[in-house]
Amino acid sequence: MINDLPLPVTNDPVDHGFWASALQSQLVVQRCSGCRLLRFPPRPMCPKCQSSDSGWQVMSGRGKVWSFATPASPLLPAFEALTPYVTAVVSLDEHEDLRVVGPLLLAPGGDIQGVRADQLSIGQAVSIEFKRLADDVALPCWVLEPSGRQGE
């Protein structure tokens, strides 16, 4: 089902820590060593204090659906076979301005194709799950919390 998808580059020095943690099923975001600002996605420099020193902070992996979309006609042909699927933008519980994008799943271990937009609403609670796509790639996905599911 997920063969031939374009995979991210995981050895870039800016975001290697994110992908390495994903392989351990841990969500991390950057923390500026200068001003302590948390930021995501990974960037080489802090947008607040311009420090280029940063570390990684482990997040709970819990959040709320901030937005979602069902691409009717994906831009990349490799994703055509997966349609319909839902991609969510999730605000992390630690800070609502930290948002992580990923496919939305109805249950742990669920299928990327198993969700319909009419089962979702903004603000639903989700938790992260990592799907292994390659030796060096674990894709962050979002799983609806049982209390937040609708229309099953």
Tell whether residue 34 is a contact of Zn ion (CB under 5 A): yes
Tell whether residue 32 is a contact of Zn ion (CB under 5 A): yes
Closest contact distance (angstroms) between CB of 114 and Zn ion is 40
Instruction: Lay out the site mask for Zn ion across 41-80 (x = CB under 5 A, - = otherwise).
Output: -----x-xx-x-----------------------------
Pairing of strands 137-144, 95-105: parallel
DSSP run (H or E) holding 39: strand 38-39
66 and 90 Cβ atoms separated by less than 8 Å = yes
Tell whether residue 138 is a contact of Zn ion (CB under 5 A): no
Asked if the bond preceding 41 is cis, omega within 30° of 0, the reply is: yes
* Residue ranges that bind Zn ion, judged by CB under 5 A: 32, 34-35, 37, 46, 48-49, 51
